[in-house]
Amino acid sequence: MLRLPVATLIAALATSGCSWAPTVCTDEARSTLSVQVRDARTGEPAAVGARGSIREGAYTDSLTVVSPSAMTAVNTFERPGTYDVTVTKPGYRTWTAEDVRVTADACHVRSRSILAKLEPAP
């Protein structure tokens, strides 16, 4: 059996990138994606009356309005992936964003917030 002094072992762990501290995660569930919705011309909030969805392959979820300027995925919590996002609103052109990547760390998704600038329809 190899025996090393404690100071040598600690120095070896510190320089190897290893950590002896456990990861501590919270119990919260983080939303995968939120969308800030604005009128492209005025900059005013435009989420009220808008509809939206996120899609990854066969998976889809709707966006719901949570404030005058924001929508969030209704049921998509703690789900990393690459999403296509669509926002529609009467009087505006359909807005889309493709390949919106949501990653995760050791405990949770890294929630993404994106900006949808809705262009008024001609």
Domain ranges for the chain, please list them: 27-118
Task: Write out pLDDT tens, residues 54-113.
Answer: 999 999 999 999 999 999 988 889 999 999 999 999 999 999 999 999 999 989 999 999
Return the higher-pLDDT residue of 29 and 89: 89
- Give the pLDDT confidence score for residue 91 in this predicted structure: 97
CA 40 to chain centre: 22
Decide yes or no: CATH 1.10.3720.10 for domain 27-118. no
Q: In what order do the strands lie in the sheet with 70-73?
A: 95-102, 81-88, 51-56, 59-67, 70-73, 33-39, 112-118
Query: Could you give the percent of the chain with pLDDT greater than 90?
Result: 69
**Rounded Cα–Cα distance for residues 42 and 117 (Å):** 10
Whole-angstrom distance, CA of residue 35 vs CA of residue 70 = 6
